[in-house]
């Protein structure tokens, strides 16, 4: 009999606590980001005061990514969702819009002035989504994220904004170090050819001509004509290296190398560069600053 009463009391207590949770959040803010690159920067903003997790781990291609049932659970439980925007998460757009009806969904791209975005060559009326490779506009986007999180959390102490300012200083130092590293590449060698068109913002910021074998999305097809045009371009411009990426297939880049070799021109396949995803947590590219540094080192060694 006593056992029975205890069971009933426990059941009632659980029921009451579940109802409480519906109305009032317990514990730290639960933030879910689409990419690991966003997750890393947001962790720097919120410190230990919030839980941050990501859907797309190391080496994941966001253009092709479809959420798993486990991801849907994470998104359901999230207090805030943070995405890149500009169709980077091409196959998640409708889903994110739906979540936006019930909880805050912040796009990093919303904090960036439209005039600073690069028009997409692939699609009319859309912009290149690889905004993290311009350190300055990426920080503009993230400043807006920090402000939005402070507003949602009711943080009037300036904790998020102060953390952001400290992190932004590190990214400004990164920007300076990139400039001095890239200065060792001669003007005629400043051409970066990669598997897909992820580096246009990087090229614009640091004065490097950029060409992707595939377009701004990995969804686009590469034809034989594109390959032979690129082979001709490489030979004409005497380019020494082209670069593969960690999150896309090497197949098309390899066919440029083979095509050049058929014409008696030796071209090196370098990389991989971190383009749309971080590396493993313990690798050089395990965080945003580390991935950009690692890329710059590989680019300088390949093009110098």
Q: Which residues bind Zn ion (CB under 5 A)?
A: 198, 276
CB closer to Zn ion, 164 vs 199: 199
Q: What is the DSSP string of the chain?
A: -HHHHHHHHHHHHHHHHHHHHHHS--SSEEEEEEEHHHHHHHHHHHGGGEEEEEEE-TT--TTT----HHHHHHHHH-SEEEE--TTTTTTTHHHHHHHTTTS-EEEGGGGS-GGGSPBPSSSTT-B---GGGSHHHHHHHHHHHHHHHHHHHT--S-HHHHHHHHHHHHHHHHHHHHHHHHTTS-GGG-EEEEEES--HHHHHHHT-EEEEEE-SSTTS---HHHHHHHHHHHHHTT--EEEEETTS-SHHHHHHHHHHHHTT---EEEEEEP-SS---TTSTTSSHHHHHHHHHHHHHHHH-
Give me the least distance between CB of 234 and Zn ion, in Å please: 22
**Nearer of residues 40 and 276 to Zn ion, judged by Cβ:** 276
> Which CB atom, from 41 or from 198, has the smaller least distance to Zn ion?
198
Question: CB-wise, 37 or 198, nearer to Zn ion?
Answer: 198
Measured from the CB atom, the residue of 45 and 198 that comes closer to Zn ion is: 198
What is the nearest approach in angstroms of Zn ion to the Cβ of residue 62? 7
CB of 177 to Zn ion, least distance (A): 24
Shortest Å distance, C-beta 100 to Zn ion? 23
User: Residue 197 Cβ, how far from Zn ion at the closest point, in Å?
Assistant: 7
Cβ-based nearer residue to Zn ion, 50 or 198: 198
Least CB distance from residue 202 to Zn ion, whole Å? 12
């Amino acid at each position: 009999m006593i056992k029975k009463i205890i069971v009933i009391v426990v059941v009632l207590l659980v029921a009451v606590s579940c109802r409480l949770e519906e109305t009032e959040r317990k514990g730290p803010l639960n933030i879910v980001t689409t990419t690991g690159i966003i997750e890393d920067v947001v962790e720097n903003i919120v410190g230990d005061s919030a839980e941050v997790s990501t859907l797309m781990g190391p080496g994941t291609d966001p253009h092709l990514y479809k959420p798993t049932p486990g991801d849907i659970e994470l998104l359901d439980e999230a207090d805030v969702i943070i995405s890149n925007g500009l169709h980077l998460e091409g196959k998640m757009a409708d889903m994110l819009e739906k979540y936006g009806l019930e909880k805050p969904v912040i796009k990093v791209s919303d904090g960036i002035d439209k005039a600073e975005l690069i028009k997409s060559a692939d699609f009319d009326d859309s912009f290149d989504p690889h905004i993290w490779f311009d350190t300055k506009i990426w920080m503009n986007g993230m400043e807006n994220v920090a402000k939005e999180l402070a507003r949602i959390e009711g943080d009037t102490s300036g904790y998020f904004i102060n953390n952001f300012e400290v992190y932004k200083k590190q990214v400004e130092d990164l920007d300076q170090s990139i400039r001095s590293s890239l200065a060792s590449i001669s003007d005629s060698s400043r051409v970066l050819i990669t598997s897909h068109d992820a580096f246009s913002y990087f090229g614009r910021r640091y004065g490097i001509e950029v060409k992707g074998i595939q377009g701004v999305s990995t969804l686009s097809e590469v034809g034989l004509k594109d390959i032979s045009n690129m082979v001709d371009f490489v030979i004409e411009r005497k380019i020494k290296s082209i670069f593969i990426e960690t999150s896309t297939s090497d197949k098309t880049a390899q066919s440029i190398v083979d095509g050049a070799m058929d014409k008696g021109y030796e071209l090196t396949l370098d990389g991989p560069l971190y383009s749309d995803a971080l590396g493993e947590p313990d690798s050089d590219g395990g965080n945003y600053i580390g991935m950009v540094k690692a890329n710059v080192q590989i680019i300088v060694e390949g093009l110098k």
